[in-house]
Structure 1
Amino acid sequence: MNNLSFLLIDDDEIFQFIMKNTIAEISPDIKIEFFTDGEKGIDFLKQNLGTALNLPDVILLDVNMPFMDGWEFLNEYKSLQTEIKKDISIYLLTSSNNPSDIAMAKEISELSGYLVKPISKEGIKNLIGHLPTSEWYHNPF
């Protein structure tokens, strides 16, 4: 668990606060950066392309955000992938547990999994315990 770094891209500042505290309780060694929209997240990745050290291990990506939503973020990320010198696991965050949405997300090769909000402390602990994951991860609760 140690030395992991997370990038949380979500416009809900209350959710960011909860995630920060939950992750710190689970493992205080995890570094976490926050952005309120996909554009800021992409800018962060672009600024840190030269060094894998500053790039996150995990991106938690909300679907619905202003300026650049999660789907637009993924399109931009695809164009950067060859320049990113690190394996980054990206998990989509959404309130939808609709099987068709999950099936659609599974078709996106850049995604490592699908997390349904609200995410419990046990759900976060379970995700962290599976990192790095080689299988597509789905946490329905």
Structure 2
Amino acid sequence: MVSKVYIIDDDDISVYLTSMVLEQAGFAAEIHTYTSADDALAAMPLTEPAPLPDVILLDLNMPFKSGWDFLEILRPYEGALKGKLDVFILTSSIAVSDKEQSLDYPLVRGFLHKPLDEASLAIITHMRNRHA
């Protein structure tokens, strides 16, 4: 079980389904949901010693700031965040270019397709255990 998960997605149905899968699996002690990258960034203590989320499930296609924008904002903090939080892209995109682009971000540990399911949780657990 991880301590804290952030779900960043503007689709209420997707957020609900993802939350339900996480809760039913007992995956996290805390699940925080954000409908925008800005809201999630406001909640993240990037410059303070407060607890960070262990896992971020990030949608790519959102208005105002996309998942890519979110990752770019985290870029200056990658060194400090690496090993402390893992970002998993959770998207409906089937574009190979999106998966390839995600490899440019060291914090991104995996590229998953919606909806989140038990197989996806197994991938997240496996990837997190590889650097634990």
TM-score (norm 1): 0.78
**Residue in structure 2 matched with residue 100 of structure 1 by the alignment:** 97
User: Which runs of no fewer than 5 residues in structure 2 stay unpaired?
Assistant: none
**Residue in structure 1 matched with residue 23 of structure 2 by the alignment:** 24
**Residue in structure 1 matched with residue 107 of structure 2 by the alignment:** 110
**Residue in structure 2 matched with residue 139 of structure 1 by the alignment:** none
Residues 45-103 of structure 1 show CA distances to partners (whole Å, capped at 9, x for unaligned) of: 14x642343x1000111101122110110111113345659611001122123333212
**Residue in structure 2 matched with residue 134 of structure 1 by the alignment:** 130
Number of residue pairs the alignment of both structures matches: 131
Alignment of 1:32-43 (within 5 A): 32-43=31-42
SS in 2 for 1:66: coil
Q: Conserved in 1, the CA contact under 8 Å of 2:22 and 2:28?
A: no
SS in 1 for 2:31: strand
Letter in 1 for 2:105: I
Is residue 90 of structure 1 aligned with residue 87 of structure 2? yes
Alignment of 1:5-84 (within 5 A): 5-27=4-26, 29-46=28-45, 49-53=47-51, 55-81=52-78, 84=81
Distance in 1 of aligned mates of 2:38 and 2:104:
23
User: Which runs of no fewer than 5 residues in structure 1 stay unpaired?
Assistant: 136-141
Matched-pair identity in % = 30
SS in 1 for 2:109: strand
Letter in 2 for 1:95: S
